Chain A
Amino acid sequence: MQSAPFNYRRLIIWLGRIVIAAVFIFAGLAKLIRWDMHPRPPIGIATSLFALQIDSYQMLRPWAVLQLARWLPWAEIGVGLLLLIGWRLHIWSSLVTLIIGGFFVAVVRAYTLHLDINCGCFAKPEPLTGMTVLRDGSLFLLAVLMTVFAFQEARKPHPWSAPAPAQPS
């Protein structure tokens, strides 16, 4: 078995997978487990607290806030694991880009409207500042690059796949 040829596209893909997967898994767990609180609240209460953070953005109706708070942490963990596995990467990286794009829009909107709120990104109280916008923007850029390169790589045959048998001339 030979290793795959290394290039800058694969470097970005690997970087994106590791960084974004780590961020997503950590963020999802932080919202469910609330290790910043002692004693730790049950998941139901942690979910309600996350719903309050989403609601402070004043973007969604209450039913949508409650549904998002219920499913987003699990989606973050699931998509993070799928990124690590690398199966159908172009599909999952597209989904991740959409999710991060949504976060980025919400954060930019709150920042420009001068909403004095917490980010809610990692559940613990963390004021939304210019640094939050910069961080989410960087993650969004990385996700976009990872997705574009993942699509490009998906069109090529896998470097570890067996070469096609030579056709007798």
Chain B
Amino acid sequence: MNRRLILVSVAILALASLGTLLVVGAPANQKSTANAASRPAKSANSSPAAQATITVDGVKDIDPDKAFGNKNAAVVMETFTDFQCPACKQLYTTTVQRVTDNYVDTNKVYIVHRDFPLPMHAYSRIAASYSRAAAHIGKCDVVEQALFQNQEKWEMNGDVKGTVAAALSAADMKKVQALVDSGALEPLIDRDKQIGQAIPVNQTPTTIIHTRDGQSYPVVGYVSYDVLKTLLDQLVK
């Protein structure tokens, strides 16, 4: 009986300590390592394309052509994707599209598309180049959609150019091809990769959700819209 009394007392004490910890546990003021790491120092790259980046809510080196929404939104959502990764396709075609419709277009979230082409994928870098070039003529959404929706086709034959051409007019494709051939936008892709490696992003897709109070929440892998929505609703209110 005494033994049971002691054990019950220990359990009650443990529960009381837990409650105290949960209630009193004051949030620390330091920034997380992930948070700090997600803001690497600006690289020394001085090409004109690389300089045309902006900073929103402390999130640096944003290519404005690959970012959408209100810069004063409560939440900045960075997604690191690889065009050849199946989970990225799933995330883009379901979750990101709905987030764009319900949070970006309503000025609640500012979304930043980061390129993170993985070396194991033969065509993801060239797909990123076409996507970036298309973004710079204002056709980001069209080309990203075409690349993700036809992923299975072009990853078999490597026909990224044909996939992009089918989604654009001849005049737009000419502009995009000129940008890809010039390589002027490559530093922006490299910078996205550097930012991802500094976080560190180990797999794609990885989404980092930044709030205005400086907190960052990393989300790894595919997530469904309904689950992500519960987090966004808490952060935007």
Contact = CB atoms under 8 A, between A and B. Distances in A.
Contacts of B28: 38-40
B220 to A, nearest CB: 5
Nearest to B235: A45
B227 A52 contact: yes
A87 B231 CA distance: 38
Contact of B22 (A38, A41, A43): A43
Interface string B198-237: 0000111000000001010111111110111011001100
Size bracket, chain B contacts? 35 or more
B62 to A, nearest CB: 23
B18 interface: yes
Interface stretch (A5-13, A77-85, A133-141): A77-85
B234 A116 contact: no
A51 B233 CA distance: 14
A32 B202 CA distance: 24
A51 B7 contact: no
A37 to B, nearest CB: 5
Contacts of B202: 116, 127
Interface stretch (A54-62, A96-104, A149-157): A54-62
A63 B3 CA distance: 42
Interface in A10-59: 25, 29, 32-33, 36-41, 43-45, 48-49, 51-53, 55-56, 58
B27 to A, nearest CB: 3
Contacts of B35: 38
Contact of A37 (B29, B32, B230, B235): B32
Size bracket, chain A contacts? 35 or more
A37 B221 contact: no
B122 interface: no
A142 interface: no
A130 interface: no
Contact of A56 (B223, B230, B235): B223
Contacts of A125: 34, 218, 220
A118 B34 CA distance: 15
B220 A85 contact: no
- Residue among A65, A77, A116 facing the most chain B CB atoms (10 A cut-off): A116
Given A33-B25, A49-B231, A52-B228, A38 B31 contact: yes
Contacts of B14: 25, 81, 84
Interface of A: 25, 29, 32-33, 36-41, 43-45, 48-49, 51-53, 55-56, 58, 62-63, 65-66, 77, 81, 84-87, 115-118, 125, 127, 160
Given A38-B27, A41-B27, A116-B221, 16 more contacts: A36-B32, A37-B215, A41-B217, A48-B230, A49-B219, A51-B230, A56-B222, A56-B223, A62-B224, A66-B226, A87-B4, A115-B221, A116-B203, A116-B220, A117-B220, A127-B202
